């Protein structure tokens, strides 16, 4: 048996402020650091030795992983991949979700957040929140940096990376620290969810999803913090 553990980063500064974050590289709140620490403790209790670590390019995912590794006393090098980044929210980036609900209506904002193939308007390349203007992404080829993305777009880049770089290694124990939409994309692929099911899927911050694999096939899965997961869609 082997294990694949998916962890959405702990609460970020913009999670707290209810802003569309996407590719803006914000850090964890103190609560987010505590969530990451608890995630590490929960994984440690399972006595699973992690062989391979992955994260997105983004600070909130990288720092979540560092805190988890500290709790595990395991400081193996982690592979960071921009393909595991959060979905790019286009022109919604930096805007407050509650304010946008008042402006556009709750249904429209829900569509932007959860629909399969609806993209927000593209973010102006001159905007300081555009990834081309953020130092974190300077090594990514410009032609690969999006101006906006749907969940479908996010799915395609995440799953291309997963299938090429990670899937063939799942006979080992792997931990991925990523984001709500990149993990949602992975769950759609791994659990063969349809477009309606994926729109209902909530990914909690800092709660490890432990996936058990037998001969690389999923045999069981559960969130390690069951109390926080009681109202979530269970596979």
Instruction: Tell me which of 35, 83, 86, 149 is the catalytic residue.
Output: 86
Indicate if 86 belongs to the active site: yes
**C-alpha distances in angstroms, 225 versus 41, 116, 211, 213?**
10, 28, 14, 20
Alpha helices of the chain — where are they, by DSSP H?
13-16, 30-45, 59-72, 97-104, 106-114, 151-161, 180-190, 195-200, 226-229
| Max Cα distance, the chain (Å) | 50
- Residue 9: active-site member: yes
- The 3-state secondary structure of 39-62 reads HHHHHHHCCCCCCEEEECCCHHHH
**At 218, is the secondary structure helix, strand, or coil?**
strand
- Angle (CA) 177 117 112, round 5°: 75
Catalytic residues: 9, 86
């Amino acid at each position: 048996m082997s294990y694949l553990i998916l962890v959405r980063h702990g609460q970020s500064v913009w999670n707290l402020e209810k802003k569309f974050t996407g590719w803006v590289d914000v850090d964890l709140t103190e609560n987010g650091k505590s969530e990451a620490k608890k995630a590490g403790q929960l994984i440690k209790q399972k006595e699973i030795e992690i062989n391979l670590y992955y994260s997105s390019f983004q600070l909130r995912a990288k720092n979540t992983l560092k805190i988890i590794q500290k709790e595990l006393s395991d400081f193996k090098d982690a592979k960071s991949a921009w393909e595991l980044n959060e979905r790019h929210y286009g022109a919604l980036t930096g805007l407050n979700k509650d304010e946008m609900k008042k402006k556009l209506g709750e249904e429209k904002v829900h569509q932007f957040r959860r629909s399969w193939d609806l993209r927000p308007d593209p973010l102006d390349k001159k905007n300081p929140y555009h990834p081309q203007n953020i130092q974190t992404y300077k090594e990514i080829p410009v032609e690969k940096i999006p101006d906006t993305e749907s969940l479908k777009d996010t799915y395609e880049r995440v799953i291309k990376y997963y299938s090429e770089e990670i899937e063939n290694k799942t006979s080992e124990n792997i931990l991925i620290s990523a984001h709500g939409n990149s993990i949602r994309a992975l769950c759609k692929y791994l659990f063969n969810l349809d477009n309606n099911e994926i729109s209902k899927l909530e990914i909690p911050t800092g709660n490890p999803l432990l996936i058990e694999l037998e001969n690389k096939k999923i045999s069981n899965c559960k969130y390690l913090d069951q109390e926080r997961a009681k109202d979530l869609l269970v596979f």
